[in-house]
């Protein structure tokens, strides 16, 4: 088990640094385009004669614009990813049609699985490091929608047509640009939902085949895994509006007997945030006596250093600068690790929760020492190449 790690807080998608404007390709659909989104549902929708089911890829959403040698990689935040992934720029030139706009996901395969942690490291301000990482940890692009081809915009075309046209531009298996599998069979989608998690995918996207491409609207559906775990309440961060609870820091004990930081629980009603302050007040501890007290020294060591936190080997820690938001205060109020709560989570990323966990209930019947990694469900491993071969 590694040192307690600091997960992304309230955001999983980085906002690329604002830079000089990049050339805008002269295409029928031009950047920036906000990608079409999906809203969560609890169970797999049954086929109604129009639905398409795809694996939900765990990476950075990206719309690729290519006009000859000119390539623009647009992010979900409508700022370019182009400078961070030079290897994908070359792959687009080599593997996609001369003029096209393709929606998809930037992913980083490591062996037979996706590695989101390594992907996050690719967003770096230093050009020399960008070059080095592009060679050491090259990314791939998984395509799942076609917005324009040649001089024709396909934004108003139904998804069934866009998918058929997309398949036509992938006559052979790509090297770095791949086509996502799709099915119209509900039972197969449910099978994928269980199988593919072991390769690092986090659910199923459901697309109505008769809909046009609608930017920035949640017209698709997503089915994600939800599990529960009993975790130790180890501290909290104050809300940006004042001295109420913003998020609760969660811990699990490892085989080494230490309490490891696994994520945060958030999204409380404002009245509940104020109540939690009073409920947690009796458990406030001195930082020097807290299991994570050494983080204070590490945080102090990062003052004046870049956001990547070289003093901690690239790990973010409470009180340090956020990797994606240099103005975000990540300091926390330490609590004696005596309280246990049950939270819902969708998946693990290494030894932490991939996304913000959701509070379910207090667990006064559980001891903190019983909250270990052993309780977590581990998905069966599945090979990424086998998924893309479909």
Give me the active site residues, please: 56
Short-list 192, 185, 257, CA closest to 1: 257
CA distance 324 to 316: 11
- 8 Å CB contact between 38 and 204: no
**156: Cβ–Cβ under 8 A, 6 or more apart, which residues?**
212, 213
> Residue 162 — φ and ψ, nearest 5°?
-60, -40
**Dihedral sign of CA atoms 90, 96, 97, 100 in order:** negative
* 147: phi then psi, degrees, rounded to nearest 5: -100, -25
| CA–CA separation, 308 and 338 (whole Å) | 32
The pair of three-digit structure tokens given for residue 313, joined into one six-digit string: 């080997």
Strands 227-239 and 333-345 turn out to be antiparallel
Residues in the chain: 390
* Rg over CA atoms, the chain: 22
Rounded CA separation 265/272 (Å): 13
Beta partners for 109? Answer: 114
């Amino acid at each position: 088990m590694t040192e307690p790690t600091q997960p992304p807080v309230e955001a999983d998608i980085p906002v690329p640094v604002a830079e000089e404007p990049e050339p805008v390709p002269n295409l029928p659909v031009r950047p920036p385009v906000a990608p079409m989104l999906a809203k969560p549902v609890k169970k797999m929708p049954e086929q109604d004669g129009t639905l398409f089911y795809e694996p939900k890829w765990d990476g950075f959403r990206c719309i690729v614009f290519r006009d000859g040698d000119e390539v623009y990689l647009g992010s979900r935040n409508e700022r370019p990813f182009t400078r961070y992934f030079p290897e994908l720029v070359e792959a687009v030139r080599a593997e996609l049609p001369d003029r096209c706009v393709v929606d998809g996901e930037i992913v980083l395969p490591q062996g037979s699985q996706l590695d989101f942690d390594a992907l996050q490291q690719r967003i770096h301000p230093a050009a020399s490091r960008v070059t080095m990482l592009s060679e050491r940890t090259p990314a791939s692009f998984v395509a799942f929608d076609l917005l324009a081809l040649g001089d024709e915009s396909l934004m108003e075309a139904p998804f069934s047509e866009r998918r058929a046209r997309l398949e036509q531009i992938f006559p052979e298996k790509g090297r770095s640009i791949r086509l996502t599998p799709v099915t119209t069979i509900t039972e197969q989608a449910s099978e994928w939902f269980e199988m593919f998690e072991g390769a690092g995918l986090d659910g199923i996207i459901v697309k109505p085949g008769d809909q046009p491409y609608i930017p920035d609207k949640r017209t698709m559906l997503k089915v994600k895994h939800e599990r529960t775990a009993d975790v130790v309440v180890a501290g909290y961060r104050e809300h940006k509006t004042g001295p109420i609870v913003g998020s609760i820091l969660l811990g699990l004990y490892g085989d080494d007997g230490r309490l490891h930081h696994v994520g945060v629980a958030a999204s409380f009603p404002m009245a509940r945030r104020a109540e939690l302050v009073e409920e947690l007040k009796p458990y406030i501890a001195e930082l020097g006596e807290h299991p994570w007290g050494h983080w204070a020294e590490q945080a102090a060591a990062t003052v004046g250093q870049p956001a990547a936190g070289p003093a901690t080997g690239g790990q973010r820690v409470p009180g340090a600068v956020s990797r994606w938001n240099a103005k975000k205060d990540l300091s926390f109020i330490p609590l004696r690790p005596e309280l246990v709560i049950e939270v819902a989570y969708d998946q693990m990323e290494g030894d932490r929760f991939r996304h913000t966990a959701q509070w379910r209930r207090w667990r006064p019947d559980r001891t903190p020492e019983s909250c270990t990694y052993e309780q977590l469900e581990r998905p069966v491993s599945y090979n990424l190449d086998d998924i893309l071969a479909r």
